[in-house]
Amino acid sequence: ETAVSQFIQTVEQAPMAISITDTDANILYVNPWFCQTTGYGLQEVKGLNHSILSYRTTPAEVYQGLWNQLKKGRSWQGRLINRRKNGERYLADVIVTPLTDGEGETTHFLGIHRDVTETH
């Protein structure tokens, strides 16, 4: 078994919603836990902006704070009010972090989130 197949197995089976976007937050990949949490399938969510998950009630300043951190090349961690495909609202504990190339340039963003509605 190669390291690459182990990495794929890990991401595919991780019990966290994982997403990879381009630098404009357009979704390139999501793992099965993401699909389970949000109700979106991989094929239908690919190419959509990550803002598809916004319930539109989180204050704009929170998103500005998120983007300010990302633009500085830093991770952001916080809670966002998210919306599933079926319209249901959930509270998400979110980590967003820039993925960089060898020169330190941001090439993608990685999102990791989980539904904490129950534990809140």
Residues 6+ apart with CB under 8 A from 28: 20, 21, 22, 46, 108
Q: Cα separation of 23 and 12, whole Å?
A: 22
* Kind plus residue range of the DSSP H or E element containing 80: strand 76-83
Told to check if 63 binds ligand FAD by CB under 6 A, we report yes
CA proximity to 109, closest of 73, 79, 61: 73
State in angstroms the smallest separation of the CB of 2 from ligand FAD.
27
Nearer to ligand FAD, 33 or 113 (CB): 113
Nearer to ligand FAD, 6 or 73 (CB): 73
Told to check if 40 binds ligand FAD by CB under 6 A, we report no
Residues that bind ligand FAD (CB under 6 A): 19, 21, 24-25, 49-51, 53-54, 58, 63-64, 67, 71, 80, 82, 92, 94, 96, 109, 111, 113
